[in-house]
Amino acid sequence: MSSIPFDSSGVFIAGLWRPCASGETLPLFNPSDGSLLAQIARGAAVDIEGSYWVAMFEGQRLLRPLRGTPAAYSSRISLVSARD
């Protein structure tokens, strides 16, 4: 197995490597020759749910300073929020 430039034992959520909840792994193959590159963490539903909540809290943190913003900007704020 060759070295890969990331922590293969965790999942990448909200800009941080975090331990995988299941502890399971799956093989990562080189698409050019089929050789095994590494065993990587296999994210589970709980990891995905965790990433969702991290993203929600981050979105709320970013929008908090806009409270009390004039109504003229409310449609823009809604559009940005909906894109997330």
11-29 residue pLDDT tens:
887 777 888 888 899 999 9
Is the predicted pLDDT of residue 2 greater than 60, yes or no? no
Is 26 part of a structural domain of the chain? yes
| Total count of domains within the chain | 1
* CA 84 – CA 56 distance, rounded (Å): 9
Residue 3: inside a domain: no
Answer yes or no: is 22 within a domain: yes
Closest CA to 14 of 61, 46, 68, 52: 52
72 within some domain: no
pLDDT, residue 73, reads 64
pTM exceeds 0.75, yes or no: no
Q: Within a 10 A sphere around the Cβ of 59, how many other Cβ atoms?
A: 13
Containing domain of residue 42, as a range? 10-66+78-83
Range scoring the smallest mean pLDDT among 34-38, 45-49, 55-59, 65-69: 65-69
Region 21-44 average pLDDT: 90
Residue 5 counted as domain residue: no
